[in-house]
Structure formats: structure tokens, C-alpha cells
A = this chain, B = another copy of it.
Amino acid sequence: MDRKGCVLWFTGLSGAGKSTLAEAVAKTLRETGHRVEILDGDEVRTNLSKGLGFSKEDRDINIRRIGFVARLLARNGVIAITAAISPYRAIRDEVRADVAKAGAGAGFMEVFMRCPIPVLAERDVKGLYKKALAGEIKNFTGVSDPYEEPLAPEVLVDSSTDSVVQGHQRVLAALRAGGHI
């Protein structure tokens, strides 16, 4: 099995379900014998970006670092799954272009986890939206900081209406269509 690798780039607001779906997809892929790495936003901040904040500049640097590691993995046949908010379109597109240049036929697929703010504020698993909406958190993406939606993501999942199972099916179908699995 010598498949071409791929960067599976999840993007979306905090709480939209990026990590949950990323984990579910990774589990299935591992069970079917694929090489998979998850670069989770928090893990990456610890290992690659300690000291960076949440200004646009620092977010961009963080995303570029994730992109660098992901494309090294992808051009070695790994399905590299990233699950950082990655709010800025230009940087996501830059990462996409860099993956295309990385060689070895590595692919790039953007998975947009869409979810309306009211739904996220209702769920509010970590209690962050309440604080952000009350103005207690600065630079909170979607509330006090921009989120630029993907214009043409390879996969769109609306976590306010789609189940994890439906999202999972959609991502796997896209990977299959792209020849990555």
C-alpha cells in the first residue's frame, strides 16, 4: 500500500466539532491500515507555538507551522489531519498552495465545520462563548475576532444539522473520491 498522502484541513469556530470529527475519521482510517496523524490546535500550540498569542500575526505564524508539519507528513504518504480554527482564508489558501508544491502528489482537502454562533453559544461546552459575548475574552474568533468562511471547501459539514456520522461519511467519501484511501 503506497498511497499518496493528504492534508485534511478542518476549519471552523471553537466548539463546531472539528476535533470530534477529526478523531472519528482518524480512528476509522487507522483501523483500515492508513498512516494518520492528528495535529490538534492545542497540541500544536504546546509543541510548536508556545509563546504565540492570538493576534492575526501570531495566528498566521501558528497556522503556517501546522501547514509545514502537515505537508512534510503528507508527502510521505500520511493523512495529516489538522484541527485548528484557522480563521483567515488567505493563510489557508497559502497552506493549500504550499502542499501542492511539496511534491509526491500530496493532496489538500478543506473540511469546513460550519455552525451558527447562536447554536455554539447554546452548547457552550467550555463556557467560552458566554464570556466572549460578555466581552470578557479578547480576540475570540467569531465574536470579537474575524472568521473568514471557506469559499469552496472540499467538504462542508454543518454541525447544527449534520450528525457526526453524516460528517464522517462525507469526509471519507471525499478522501475516497480523491484517491487517498
A48 at the interface (CB under 8 A from B): yes
Q: Across the interface, which residues of B come within 8 angstroms of A77, CB to CB?
A: 35, 76-77
In chain A, positions 42-69 with a C-beta closer than 8 Å to chain B are: 47-48, 50, 61, 64-65, 68-69
Q: Across the interface, which residues of B come within 8 angstroms of A69, CB to CB?
A: 48, 69, 72
Q: Across the interface, which residues of B come within 8 angstroms of A106, CB to CB?
A: none
Tell me which of B35, B64, B72 contacts A37 (CB under 8 A): B72
A61 (CB) vs chain B CBs: closest residue: B50
A36 (CB) vs chain B CBs: closest residue: B76
A8 at the interface (CB under 8 A from B): no
Q: Across the interface, which residues of B come within 8 angstroms of A78, CB to CB?
A: 76
Interface size class of A (residues with CB under 8 A): 10 to 19
Q: Across the interface, which residues of B come within 8 angstroms of A61, CB to CB?
A: 50
- Which residue of A47, A64, A73, A76 has the most chain B CB atoms within 10 A of its CB atom? A76
Besides A35-B77, A47-B65, A77-B77, 18 more A-B contacts (Cβ < 8 Å) are A35-B76, A37-B72, A37-B76, A47-B64, A47-B68, A48-B48, A48-B65, A48-B68, A48-B69, A50-B61, A69-B69, A69-B72, A72-B73, A73-B73, A73-B76, A76-B76, A76-B77, A76-B78
